[in-house]
Amino acid sequence: MNFTPPSVSRVHQFSRLSLVSVAVLALSACGALWGKPADAKSANAKATDAKGAVKTTAAPWNAAILQAIRLFPEGGGYSTGKDAFDALREAVHWEDDRPALRPKSAKPSFCSGGTYVAFLVMLAQQQFDGKLSLTPDVWRLLMVDNQRDGEGVWGRWNANGPGTARLFFETGAGRNFTDWSQAQPGDFLKVFWNEVIGAQESGHSVIFMGTETKDSEEMVTFWSSNQPDGYGVKSVPRSKIKRAIFSRLETPNKLSTVSKMPGQDDFLTSLQQTVVTPEAAAKMVGIKEW
């Protein structure tokens, strides 16, 4: 397969993809889309507090995720109807033997669609920079094409329950955890507005931005497609979040294993009709308890 999309000179020009017929996911003569990934150790620095004590290890890919969301328009409207799904397919699909990513086309939008497009834009930026190497066959599997919950990559991300966490666990691309003290801006986060995991849940797929105390109440800030306006940053009291699971991208090259995953994840598919215990869900995403 010939996989040589049009070229651009720098990654920051990725924001102009909505103006061209096909999104640019490859380098020009200066490199190949599936070139050798760069060493990410330089980004794996130690964060320190005001006294110089080590707080935590910086997540090397989180900064790239935060960079990707800057390419999205503000607002655009929120919808879970056919208009939003049509817009998502326009933003993420296969065209002329190459992936087409047009983040500005994904509006109106919904939460999991917004975080998924941000995820793909980040991967494309990193591959453009030579820090990631995914083959054309893998990129083809990342596209959105009417997959049902639990089916394919997008169907896993969009499913009820811990969809993103299940994908990261299956592929080994990232780590899942529930400890808020470990969270860093740029982590993917599934919040639950009720205690239910599965068919009767009320949840939200977001990118974690941080916490702060306001009027003696802890607030959680995140980016997503939020009701009613669409894309943007929102803060809610942590007390409103009944359950949460973080998913941190750590080894994105392991996404190459999506070609070996079953076409359908029966666990996630079942969550359209059933409810599972936190213990059962924890086992499926590689954490001890939830």
End-to-end CA, the chain = 44
Per-residue pLDDT at 57: 57
* Cis previous bond, 136, omega within 30: no
Are 104 and 75 in contact, with CB atoms under 8 Å apart? no
Provide the 8-state DSSP code for 39: P
For Cα atoms 262, 265, 270, give the angle at the middle one, nearest 5 degrees: 155
Are 191 and 241 in contact, with CB atoms under 8 Å apart? yes
- SS3 assignment, position 212: strand
CB neighbour class for 131 (10 Å; exposed up to 12, middle 13-18, buried from 19) = buried
d(CA 37, CA 33): 10
Per-residue pLDDT at 96: 87
For Cα atoms 152, 155, 160, give the angle at the middle one, nearest 5 degrees: 140
The single-letter code of the amino acid at 78 is Y
Q: Both tokens of residue 21?
A: 């017929």
Per-residue pLDDT at 47: 35
Per-residue pLDDT of the chain (290 residues; tens, 9 = 90+): 333 332 222 233 333 333 222 343 332 222 233 333 333 333 333 333 333 333 445 678 999 999 999 999 999 999 999 999 999 999 999 988 888 899 999 999 999 999 999 999 999 999 999 999 999 999 999 999 989 999 999 999 999 999 999 999 999 999 999 999 999 999 999 999 999 999 999 999 999 999 999 999 999 999 999 999 999 999 999 999 999 999 999 999 999 999 999 999 999 999 999 999 999 999 999 999 99
Per-residue pLDDT at 99: 87
Q: The pTM is what?
A: 0.82
d(CA 136, CA 126): 15
Residue from 176, 152, 150, 180 nearest 163 by CA:
150
Which runs of E-coded beta strand occur in 162-273?
174-177, 188-192, 203-214, 217-226, 230-237, 243-249
Domain boundaries of the chain, sorted by first residue = 11-33+57-284
- SS3 assignment, position 244: strand
The single-letter code of the amino acid at 242 is K
